[in-house]
A and B are shown apart, each in its own frame.
Chain A
Amino acid sequence: MSLLSYLVRRLALAIVVLIGLSILLFLIARVLPGDPARIALGPRAPEYAIENLRKQMNLDKPLYTQYYLWISNLLKGDLGLSLLSRRPVQEDIREYFPATFEEVLLAAIILSIAGIGLGVLAAKYTNTWLDGIVRIFAYLGIVTPAFIWAIILLLIFGYWVPIFPIQGRISPDILLPPRITGMLTLDSLLTGNWVAFWDALKHLILPSLALAMAPMAQAARIMRSSICSDLGADHVSAMTAYGVPQNRILTKYLSRLSLIPTISIMSLDIVALFASAFVVELVFNFPGLSRYGMHAILNKDLNAISGVLLIFGALFTLITIFIDLIVAYLDPRIRLQRRGM
C-alpha cells in the first residue's frame, strides 16, 4: 500500500466523517436551543414576527428537508447570515480565519521545534540538573491550561516587562499590506513591508506562545520518555557495540524512532490549539475566527456557530490526515507492510 493509496483511503473516510459531522451539528443547532426564531428575535418579539421568521428559516418544514436545504446552501458556499454581524457568515469567516490560522501556525512551529528539541536535550542529559528542569517545566506546562498561560504572559510581557503588545493584530498606525492571503505576516513578507511584518509578528507572539506552552511541554515529555525507554533496546546496544558514538545514536536513530509517537500526539494537540484559541483570543482581544466563534456561541448565533464548527471540522480532518502522512513517511512499517489479519 503506497503513500498515495493510503492518502486516498483517508480522504474518502474523511468525507464520510464530515458528512456525519454536519448532521450532528445540524441536529445540535436545531434541537437544543428550543426555538431558533424566538431566540433570534428576542423574548419580547410579537408572535407574527416569529412566525414569519420561522417560515423564512424553513423551520416549519420537516427536519430532513431542512437539512437538505442547509447542506445544499452549504455546498454552494452559503452559510447563512450571522445574527451579530448581519453579514453572510462566509464573509465573516473569510475575514477572520487567516488571523487564527497564522496564530495557530506560529504556535505549531514553536511547539514542534521547542518541544522536540527540549525532549531530545533532556534525554541526552538524563538525570542531570538540565533534565530535572525540563521535566518540571514539562509537568507544570501540561497542567496549566492555555488561558492561564495567556494571563501569565499578559502579566509578564504586557505589564512587568512590556516588550510585546497585548491586543489586536497590528498597531493602528502601521500601513496594512494588501490582502493576498489575509495573513498579515505572510502578506507583508510577500510585499516586502518589513515594518508591518515585525509589527504583526510582535502582536502574534503572545497569543501563539500561550497556545504553544502546554502542547510543547507534552511533546517534550513524550519525546524524552520515548527516547529514554528506547535507550535499553537491543538495536541501541547493537549500534553501540558496532562503535557508533552515543551522540549519533541519539540524534539520528533514537530521535526518528521516538518522533513517531510524539508526532501522533502532537497532531491531536495542534488540532486542540484551535479550540484553546477560543479563549486565548478573548484574553488578548485578538480578532480571529475563534474569538468570532466565541461571540457567536455566547450570543447563540446559530448560523455562525455551525459555520465555524464546520470549517474547523474540515480543517482538523485535513490536519490529521497531513500529520498521518508525515508519520507514514517516518515509519516505513505503516506504509509498506501488508496489513495481515
Chain B
Amino acid sequence: MIRSLKTRRQVTLLACYGVIAVFMVFFLFPPYWMALTSFKTNQEIESLKGIPFLIQEGVTLNHYRDLFTKTDYLIYFRNTVFVSVLVTVVSLTISVLAAYSLSRLGFVGAGVLGTGVFLTYLIPDTLLFIPLFKIIGWLGLLNSKWSLLLVFPTAIVPFCTWILIGYFASIPHELDEAALVDGANHFQMLILIFLPVALPGLVAATLFAFTISWAGFLYPMAFIFSGEEQVLTAGTVTSLIRGDVYHWGSLMAAALLACLPPVLLYVFLMDYYISGLTAGATKA
C-alpha cells in the first residue's frame, strides 16, 4: 500500500516535470533562437542545410559590431535610458505622494479618487493615443523624446499608486500615531517611516515603472519619426528593417540586446517583481 502510493507519487512527479519541460521549451525557444541567429555568420543564417538550432560554422560578433557602428542603435539606447530613468523618477514621486495621501490622509473625494486610480490603470494605451497625438502636437513635442515623458506616466502612475496604496495600507496605524506623538510632520513620516517599511513595494513599483517605459512601443511609433529622437523598441522595428533584404543577424542582436536590461533587472529582483504583480491585480 505504502509502496504503491510512493510509486504513484513518483509517476505524478515525472509527469509534472515532463509538462514543465514542454512549457520551458515553448517559453525559452524565441529568446534562444534570437541569440543563436545573432551569433551566426550571414552564410549560416542564409544556408538551408544542417540543423538550424545549433551554430556549426563558428560564432561571430560582427552583427553586434555592425549594430554599433553602422546604425543609430546607440542613439536609441541612450534615448531609451534617458526616457526610462526620467519617467521612473517622475512617476514614482507622483505615486508615492498620492499613495500616502490616499491610504492615510482622508479628504473629501479620496475614496472616489482611489477608485479612479484603479480604473485609469485599466485604460490601455490604444484607447487614447490619437487625442494624445493631437495634444502632443499642440505642445510642439511631436518627434521629440520629451513627448514620452508626458505620456508614459499615464499608464505607470496609476499602476504604481495602486500597488503602493496596498503596501502602505498594510503598515499598522500605531506606527504613525507614535510618530505623530513624537512631533513628526507628514512629510517626515512618509520619508522616515513609510518608505523604509514599504521598501519591497517601492522596489516593485520602480521595477514596473522602468520596464513599462522601456517596453513602450505604441507611443514612440505614433509620436516619433526621426532617428535622433527614437527609442529602442520603435527604432529597432522601424529603421533596422530596411528594404527587402533583412539583416536578420543584426536585427536579432538589436532585439535581444534591447531586452537585456529589463530581463537582468528581473533576474536580480524577481521576488519583488512577482509580489508586485500579484498585488497589483488583487490587493486593494
Q: Tell whether A pairs with B.
A: no
